[in-house]
Amino acid sequence: MVLSYTYAQDNTPKYSNEFLNLGVDARAFGMSMSMTSHVQDVSAGYWNPAGLNGLKSSYQLELMHSSYFGGIANYDFGAFGARLNDQSVLGISILRFAVDDIADTRLLFDANGAINYDNIQFFSAADYAALFSYARKLTVLGGLDLGGNLKIIRRVVGEFADSWGFGLDVGLQKEWKGWNFGLMGKDLFGTFNSWSINENELADIYTQTGNELYTRSVEVTLPRLILGSSKQFSFGDKFGLLASLDLVATTDGKRNTVIKSDIVSVDPALGLEVGYQSMAFIRAGVGQFQEIKDFDGSQSWSFQPNVGLGFKIQEVTIDYAFTDIGDQAAGLYSHVFSVKVDFNVED
């Protein structure tokens, strides 16, 4: 059994469905995504569906937009949550990450060898996901919040290839002696993407290159476990401080993280949020610690520091985050904006 599990890890691609690990919600980005234990709004469908139990209104809507790589890729998120009763909440989240308007220049040269720009067509490489969430309050262990996701994944590369995938997530939250704890299991039983390749679109190219054309394949995403803890501190009647820590454990083999082994790799994320009268917020966080090998063969550590702001005006919350301050991480910085609107707020 151990040998077969190790073999499966070695043959399972890392970063499968990686767009689902980018994060959502500008508040979360500002806190470097350390949300598992304390998230209590509609974005919990992504971070920890158990947190949907914390909705303070009958309905909540959130929209988010971000761009990557100088605007080449666009990332959008929308979520809606509805409270069924005092004990349960339903939610749905939609994600799209895409590079649009990619030029297809296969037919740039006509039969006579002349360039014909009219033959250029454009396509998109887009990843979609829908998360259907349900959360419920339980009376066991002195009160426990439980939530789960059924997720459907759709990935499209123009008319060349496409896939469907399905997976399950389960999350827990527990408050104990002023501390909040959370546990999130993503892709608990593995998420499987079944890919189909359009043979008619690619056969000529593969014939020219001599490569073998695979028309079917399956991509597997192995489980990811996230353990989080947080605590809220009060300073007088107006100021508050929220401190949080998440430990993200991946099971797809060794990664260049702080804690790593052939079976499990663990990456920490830390976040802080200073609030004023629950209306204005300043946030900071650090995460994505990675050991990078430089061109000269030396090893160095990189990390991603983030900051953010938030404002709550009656039923509307506006959040902003600026990621990778000072270009400390290997990736590029991004601006993230999100808006939440509450309907029928409880007194």
Q: Write the CATH number for 183.
A: 2.40.128
- 58 Cβ contact partners less than 8 Å away, ≥ 6 residues apart: 82, 83, 343, 344, 345, 346
What pLDDT score was predicted for residue 330? 46
Residue 328 lies in a domain: no
What pLDDT score was predicted for residue 340? 97
This prediction has a pTM of 0.86
Residue 278 lies in a domain: yes
Residue 232 lies in a domain: yes
Residue 319 lies in a domain: no
Domain of residue 66 covers: 2-314
Residue 145 lies in a domain: yes
Asked whether the beta carbons of 271 and 32 are under 8 A apart, the reply is yes
Given CA atoms 31, 32, 38, 42 in this order, what sign does their dihedral have? Answer: positive
What pLDDT score was predicted for residue 222? 93
- What does the alpha-carbon distance between residue 111 and residue 107 come to, in Å, rounded to a whole number? 9
Measure Cα distances from 45 to 161, 271, 273, 290 in Å: 29, 20, 21, 27
DSSP designation for 102:
E
Written as six digits, the tokens of 186 are: 């993503």
- What does the alpha-carbon distance between residue 123 and residue 103 come to, in Å, rounded to a whole number? 7
In order along the chain (347 residues), what is the average pLDDT of each group of 10 residues? 42 76 94 96 97 95 89 93 96 96 82 81 92 96 94 92 94 96 95 84 64 74 96 93 97 85 92 96 93 77 91 95 65 81 80
Q: What is the number of structural domains in the chain?
A: 1
Residue 260 lies in a domain: yes
Residue 292 lies in a domain: yes
Residue 184 lies in a domain: yes
Which alpha helices (H) appear in the chain, and where do they start and end?
2-11, 26-30, 44-47, 199-209
